[in-house]
Structure 1
């Protein structure tokens, strides 16, 4: 199966909203805005190009983690499968781009973050006692 995998860097344009499907799966949806910048040699400075908007959907555990971690306006890096949808409504044709996210993180080129493992995704390894030096003879 050929899928278009993309990585998009942008800002959260709508507050993430989480819903639960009829089958019980959590999905969090938000819009991501990305604006290309280029150097304009005539003006001697940087200028913004057009802004593209993507609908991002995160499923299952990623959905919950996004809802708890991501807010409006924050810079993100989103990786996932690109889907282009064409619809007709009221006689007009619409094209939209959606990303089914496989990974989402804050853009650390523009700020700092601290990672905290969620209890539902923590891979707990059993405690292995540290090796101890043998006791000297005659000590119990």
Structure 2
């Protein structure tokens, strides 16, 4: 099966996050976000370029969680897509775009935090393939099968 990928966006929350609701009653998170840019120089150093600012939105449960967890200044990594749109300002049609975050979290390269695993979803363990569980059990028990299994190439290798 192919790896599923989407656009990603990294930056920092530049405004106070806002939570509102759409006409359908769905939660909508909005924040103005900044993205720093750098140019690598021939000598290996980096030159800081102008920071750009963009609109970031999220909907439904992601919006509610983002509003609870993010504050102005936080660094983030988001997965989603760029949504172009048009609006009118002073009688003129203006082109705009926003990043729609389907998933968003703090950038752990720039954020210190602790993980609370007390609410961990147990579905993953229940759906685990029996062969993978047996393989791990063999390693734990120092079973000779471990050598045969580790020598066999995995799918796609």
For residue 58 of structure 2, what is the aligned residue in structure 1?
58
Which of structure 1's runs of 4+ aligned residues deviate more than 6 A? Answer: none
Is the 8 Å Cα contact of residues 57 and 98 (structure 1) preserved in structure 2?
yes
Is the 8 Å Cα contact of residues 53 and 97 (structure 1) preserved in structure 2?
no
Deviates more, 1:96-105 or 1:46-55: 46-55
For residue 68 of structure 2, what is the aligned residue in structure 1?
68
Q: Tell me how far apart the structure 2 counterparts of residues 84 and 118 of structure 1 sit (CA, whole Å).
A: 39
- Give the structure with the higher percent strand: 1
For residue 127 of structure 2, what is the aligned residue in structure 1?
none
- Taking the TM superposition and a 5 Å limit, the aligned residue runs for 1:1-140 are 5-41=6-42, 45-90=45-90, 92=92, 94-116=94-116, 123=121
C-alpha displacement of 1:124: 6.5
Q: 1:71 to 1:30 in 2, by over 3 A?
A: same
Is the 8 Å Cα contact of residues 54 and 96 (structure 1) preserved in structure 2?
no
- Give the structure with the higher percent helix: 2
Report which structure shows greater RCO (CA 8 Å, sep ≥6).
Answer: 1
Count of equivalent residues? 118
Q: 1:45 to 1:123 in 2, by over 3 A?
A: closer
Structure 1, unmatched stretches of 5+, are: 126-140
Q: Tell me how far apart the structure 1 counterparts of residues 117 and 59 of structure 2 sit (CA, whole Å).
A: 18
RMSD of Structure 2 on Structure 1 (CA):
2.7
Q: Tell me how far apart the structure 2 counterparts of residues 118 and 91 of structure 1 sit (CA, whole Å).
A: 53
SS of alignment partner, residue 51 of structure 2: strand
1:57-98 alpha-carbon deviations (Å, 9 max, x no partner):
111111111111101011111111211223342255533221
Q: Tell me how far apart the structure 2 counterparts of residues 117 and 108 of structure 1 sit (CA, whole Å).
A: 17
Structure 2, unmatched stretches of 5+, are: 1-5, 124-157
For residue 144 of structure 2, what is the aligned residue in structure 1?
none
